[in-house]
């Protein structure tokens, strides 16, 4: 509200979108002109799903205001987006690739933009959008307020903030540890070749109706999708190779209850908001703790309870331990009945036996003991030493 640049961080599901949309609408309603609309605010997000979500929030919060927004995203013909732009708009919500394409074609003008918001900035870095963002910002008003939001403030985000923000106010509402407040975590150790079977068994035994299942690659996502489909489990899939229509349909099927499981990759799932999502499953673990945080942040949102189940093969143990350390978690690793382990397990480190010195109180005790012996030896030596005879 003071017009400062902002670096904001808060876990998923806590209302970051509302935190920047509400002040933006308040700011714009004082300056927008009904008969002469120009683009005054630009919101850049990494995925088409997030474009839809942010645009919907603007429409909901600004229901009684004469403020309009246009979505600029891939997967939709440029012609329909250009038609909306011609009618005039106050806010543009865009993905970097499509927006830069329209700028290159000289179909969109950003010289009046004095508020820029970069949402899910960490994901945009992961997707390699840094150059596009730099190019886009060069077309905006130099006298602008820039706000950058992320679930966490990593070293990369700090570097990005130094480049794009001027003396920003840093608002970190919660630490990564807070992600577990409303979430119950479980972990199951399982043989590599039985992991898919355990996923299916768990869904059937618990009669789960709404699960977001994460895989680490498109190939792996396709495999588990086909497996669950063959097991007669209602399943849909979402990843980067699918077009916008297919991704939107998959998400809608889960939200409406027509499918039980949505298989997703990390990037495709950014920006997905499913109210009161029952469970997140980590079919495969991510490499980084921040990605784990983003995944589990899809459940336990807005104060609702959530569940997370992680499936661990032998090669996952170290990665999972690292995630636990970073998030200060201690998750019990169970074995599901009927899925006893046959894969060779890593040898347990045997606790080193303590020496007598350590059992008796450590080296301080040893030092005192040695000093006592030394004093006793000196005393004995003095007793044995013959006295000098007096001269007559």
Mean pLDDT, the chain, integer? 85
Q: Is the pLDDT of residue 205 over 50?
A: yes
Cα–Cα distances in angstroms (integers) from residue 215 to residues 21, 221, 263, 310, in the given order: 32, 5, 7, 11
Cα atoms in the 13 Å half-sphere on the side-chain side of 93 = 23
The third-level CATH classification (topology) of the domain covering 6-174 is: Rossmann fold (3.40.50)
Confirm if 256 and 88 have CB atoms less than 8 A apart.
no
Distance (Å, whole) CA 91 – CA 66:
12
Residue entry with tokens 């046959």: 342
> 156-165, 181-190, 216-225, 343-352: which has the minimum mean pLDDT?
343-352
Return the number of other C-beta atoms located less than 10 Å from residue 72's C-beta. Answer: 27
Distance (Å, whole) CA 74 – CA 282:
28
> 15-24, 189-198, 249-258, 317-326: which has the minimum mean pLDDT?
249-258
Cα atoms in the 13 Å half-sphere on the side-chain side of 381 = 6
The stretch 139-166 carries a mean pLDDT of: 89
Q: How, if at all, do strands 183-189 and 333-334 pair?
A: parallel
Distance (Å, whole) CA 50 – CA 119:
9
Residue entry with tokens 């972990």: 187
Instruction: Tell me where in the chain the CATH 3.40.50.300 domain(s) lie.
Output: 6-174, 177-334
Cα atoms in the 13 Å half-sphere on the side-chain side of 355 = 6
Q: According to the model, what pLDDT value does residue 110 have?
A: 95
299 against 102, higher pLDDT: 102
The neighbouring-strand residues paired with 145 are 115
Q: Is the pLDDT of residue 354 over 80?
A: no
> 66-70, 127-131, 261-265, 369-373: which has the minimum mean pLDDT?
369-373
Domain made up of 177-334: CATH architecture: 3-Layer(aba) Sandwich (3.40)
- % helix, strand, coil for the chain, step of 5: 45, 15, 40
Distance (Å, whole) CA 189 – CA 339:
9
Most confidently predicted of 213-227, 259-273, 278-292: 213-227
pTM: 0.63
Predicted confidence (pLDDT) per residue in 238-276, tens digit: 887 777 678 778 888 888 888 999 999 887 666 667 777
pLDDT more than 70, % of the chain: 85
In 127-180, beta strands by DSSP E: 145-150, 169-172
15 against 2, higher pLDDT: 2
Most confidently predicted of 4-13, 73-82, 229-238, 377-386: 229-238
In 136-293, beta strands by DSSP E: 145-150, 169-172, 183-189, 211-214, 235-238, 261-264, 279-282
Predicted confidence (pLDDT) per residue in 24-83, tens digit: 999 999 888 777 889 999 999 988 888 998 999 999 999 999 999 999 998 788 999 999
Q: According to the model, what pLDDT value does residue 90 have?
A: 95
Query: Per-residue confidence at 290, pLDDT binned at 50, 70, 90?
Result: confident
């Amino acid at each position: 509200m003071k017009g400062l640049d902002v670096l904001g961080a808060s876990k998923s599901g806590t209302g970051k979108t509302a935190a920047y949309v509400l002040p933006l609408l308040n700011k714009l309603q004082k300056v927008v002109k009904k008969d002469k609309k120009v683009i005054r605010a630009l919101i850049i997000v990494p995925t088409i799903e997030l474009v839809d979500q942010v645009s919907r929030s603007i429409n909901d919060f600004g229901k009684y205001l004469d403020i309009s927004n246009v979505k600029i995203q891939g997967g939709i013909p440029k012609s329909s987006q250009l038609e909306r732009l011609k009618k005039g708009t106050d806010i543009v919500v865009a993905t970097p690739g499509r927006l830069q394409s329209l700028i290159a074609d000289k179909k969109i003008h950003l010289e009046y933009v004095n508020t820029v918001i970069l949402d899910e900035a960490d994901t945009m870095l992961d997707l390699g959008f840094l150059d596009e963002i730099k190019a886009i910002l060069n077309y905006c008003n130099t006298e602008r307020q820039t706000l950058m939001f992320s679930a966490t403030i990593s070293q990369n985000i700090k570097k990005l903030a130094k480049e794009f923000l001027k003396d920003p106010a840093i608002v970190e509402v919660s630490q990564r540890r807070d992600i577990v407040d409303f979430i119950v975590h479980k972990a199951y150790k399982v043989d590599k070749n039985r992991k898919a079977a355990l996923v299916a068994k768990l869904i059937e035994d618990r009669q789960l109706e709404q699960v977001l299942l994460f895989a680490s690659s498109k190939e792996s996502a396709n495999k588990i999708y086909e497996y669950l489909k063959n097991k007669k489990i209602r399943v849909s899939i979402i990843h980067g190779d699918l077009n916008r229509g297919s991704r939107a349909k998959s998400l809608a099927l889960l939200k409406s209850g027509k499918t039980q499981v949505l298989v997703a990759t990390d990037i495709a799932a950014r920006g997905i908001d499913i109210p009161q999502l029952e469970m997140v499953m980590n079919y495969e673990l991510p490499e980084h703790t921040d990605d784990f945080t983003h995944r589990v942040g899809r459940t336990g949102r807005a104060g609702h309870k959530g569940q997370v189940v992680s499936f661990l093969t032998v090669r996952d143990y170290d990665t999972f331990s690292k995630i636990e350390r970073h998030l200060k978690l201690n998750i019990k690793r169970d074995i599901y009945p009927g899925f006893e382990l046959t894969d060779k397990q890593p040898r347990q480190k045997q606790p080193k036996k303590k020496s007598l010195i350590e059992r008796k109180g450590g080296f301080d005790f040893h030092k005192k003991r040695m000093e006592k012996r030394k004093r006793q030896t000196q005393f004995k030596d003095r007793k044995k030493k013959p006295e000098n005879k007096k001269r007559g």
